[in-house]
Amino acid sequence: MGKNLVGNYIRKLRFNSDEMTQQQLADKVGVTRQTIVALEKGNYSPSLELAFRIARAFGLPLEEVFFYEDNSMQ
């Protein structure tokens, strides 16, 4: 399979949320800052539970924070 197909807008959302730091988001959702770094870089796909916690931290539905890139349809 290779490349991670789950993308996200976390970095942009943090910036638009009074420039929330990676550490502040990590503390809010109960993970390490390194997990947030990996998510933003696309090196890690979150569990469904973590994805919902992150979306809730921004007050947004899941699909406004995460997206699925399915290139097999092209």
Backbone angles phi, psi at 6, to 5 degrees: -95, 115
Whether residue 1 is predicted with pLDDT greater than 60 in this model: the reply is no
Counting Cα atoms < 13 Å in the Cβ hemisphere of 58 gives: 27
Task: State the pLDDT at residue 70.
Answer: 76
CA distance 23 to 58: 14
Task: State the pLDDT at residue 72.
Answer: 65
How much is the pTM? 0.87
